Amino acid sequence: MAAIEQYELITRGIGYNVLYAAKKHFATYDIVEKAPGWITITTLGIGIFALVIPGLTNEKLAAAILIVGIASIYFNQFQLQSEKYAKAGGELIRQFNGLRSIYNHAQSHSAEASVDDLEDQYKGVLAQSEQVWLHKHIFLSDWYAHYKIFWQAQIGWLDEQLHFKFWRDKVPLTLSMTLVLAFAVAAYCTVSKLMERFGSAC
């Protein structure tokens, strides 16, 4: 593989990693900023309906509201520094755009051309990107980041070489496992009920 072709491949791969990091930071920021408000509205709505619907006043509902309260405490530890995630995400997007410029520059070179000038630029962008990454992120930020990348962002130049697959790349592994587990549990419950029903009929 020619030096330029190899460099284009590396730039695309690192470009995806930087874009993913940026979207994960924005995902954490969005969840932290929006989820507490939705939790509050949902909790108040349930409380209001519980006043007029007797079936809602039970121990299970109280336990669910308690879990929601505990979840809000979890959100608070991120909310205190949510602006850091937004700032880091913006900086990572800037570095991602820098990698895209380097990639476009590489494409304008001939296949046999030297990549020394591009290598210096690439290393500089990568070093700056690593300095702003925040490693602690909120629950489900991976799933939301995938949505932001594959359904909101323009990533055609990355897909040219990486050839993203739906289940392997666009759907998070943990989401796939969750769906499989949920399907297995639903199938088990359905089969159990059918067996009970036919068993009692006999």
Is residue 153 over pLDDT 70? yes
The 10s digit of each residue's pLDDT in 155-175 is 877 877 778 888 888 888 888
The 10s digit of each residue's pLDDT in 29-51 is 998 888 777 877 877 777 777 77
Which structure tokens are listed for 63? 């336990």
- Please, what sign has the CA dihedral across residues 24, 26, 28, 31? negative
Is residue 1 over pLDDT 50? no
Closest CA to 11 of 146, 162, 112: 162
Closest CA to 133 of 33, 31, 13, 20: 20
The 10s digit of each residue's pLDDT in 52-96 is 776 666 676 777 777 777 777 777 778 888 889 999 999 999 988
Is residue 196 over pLDDT 80? no
pTM: 0.73
The 10s digit of each residue's pLDDT in 86-141 is 999 999 999 888 888 887 777 776 666 666 677 777 778 888 888 888 888 888 89
CB 24 within 8 A of CB 145: yes
- Give dist(CA 184, CA 189) in Å, integer: 9
- Give dist(CA 22, CA 134) in Å, integer: 10
Is residue 145 over pLDDT 60? yes
